Amino acid sequence: MPLIASLLRVPSLPETELLPREFFARPAVEVAPDLLGCVLVHQTAEGLVAVRLTEDEAYAGASDPASHAFRGRTARNAVMYGPPGHAYVYFTYGMHFCVNLVCQGEGDASAVLLRSGLVIDGAALASARRYGTAGGPGADGRAGVRRSTARSTVPREIDLARGPARMCEALAIDRAQNGSDVCVAASPLRVYAAQKPVPGADVSTGPRVGVSRAADVAWRFWITGDPAVSVYRAYAPRRARAKPVTTRGPEGGTIPQ
């Protein structure tokens, strides 16, 4: 084995190797179930965090109404049109990042959205990123998880990367990782093969979460019974803002709000 491979080896992955680019050079619906059990690693100056993938979703390109590529190429989705085995990171809902892995060949804008995983390395660092410093919830005054009630605000390790935006926060994935090649050992962000492949019989399928279009296709995949899988939420239209702000403050001198 090359020396560099041992130097970059992940503690929890003694015998596994990086996924080759050919792995991703297939339709996303084929790649998505095969990614379950594989390990996403992000190495930063702070340290290394690794998650074993437990849930993902396939997005086809121009033919999929739920895909970001459905309406053609834009500055945001450009990476999806590039070569397979690269990360497509996008920002959504004004505050969250989500990470995809690009599939097929160049020009086919398909990808797999990574939805959930179990942290198997760097849990302390992941927890610090999600909940603040290791002192516990609220220790640094951050709003993430507060002790507002006596129960149910205790962070759980199972929740560290359970959900697409949570996983990005645990792994410190943001715009800087958009376009990263996950198939080379020199990349801080990379994906390793599963130590023990997940049998097809252990993979469940269902509709994708939160999408309004093409809600009938079962392109969400997860490891059956795994606790580190996000809760399914059907698409729900967001209601209009309660305060239209059509007028300014009261005329008579009452204090706003």
- Cβ of residue 41: shortest distance to DNA, in angstroms? 19
Site for DNA in 128-147 (CB under 7 A): 130, 144-146
Query: Taking CB under 7 A as the rule, does residue 247 contact DNA?
Result: no
Query: Taking CB under 7 A as the rule, does residue 76 contact DNA?
Result: yes
Site for DNA in 28-67 (CB under 7 A): 57, 59, 66-67
Sort 186 into a burial class: Cβ within 10 Å, 0-12 / 13-18 / 19+: exposed
Letters for 77-106 (x = contact with DNA by CB under 7 A, - = none) are x----------x-xxxxxxx-x-x------
**Distances from the Cα of 130 to the Cα of 95, 153, 161, 170, 181, angstroms:** 14, 13, 9, 6, 25
- 166, 182, 219, 221: residue in contact with DNA (rule CB under 7 A): 166
- 5, 176, 185, 212: residue in contact with DNA (rule CB under 7 A): 212
How many residues form the binding site for DNA (CB under 7 A)? 50
- Cβ of residue 9: shortest distance to DNA, in angstroms? 29
C-beta separation of 55 from 222 below 8 A: yes
Dist CA 146 CA 136 (whole Å)? 9
- 156, 196, 241, 248: residue in contact with DNA (rule CB under 7 A): 241
Query: Taking CB under 7 A as the rule, does residue 159 contact DNA?
Result: yes
Dist CA 117 CA 228 (whole Å)? 6
C-beta separation of 173 from 189 below 8 A: yes
Q: Could you please report the per-residue DSSP string of 86-134?
A: BEEEEEETTTEEEEEEEESSTT--EEEEEEEEEEEE-HHHHHHHHHSST
Residue where the block lists tokens 């300014």: 248
Stretch that binds DNA, among 12-20, 198-206, 218-226, 237-245 (CB under 7 A): 237-245
Nearby residues of 88 by Cβ (< 8 Å), 6 or more positions away = 77, 79, 80, 99, 100, 101, 102, 111, 178, 179
Query: Taking CB under 7 A as the rule, does residue 242 contact DNA?
Result: yes
Residues that bind DNA (CB under 7 A): 57, 59, 66-69, 71, 74-77, 88, 90-96, 98, 100, 111, 113, 130, 144-146, 148-149, 152-153, 159, 163-167, 208-212, 230, 236-242
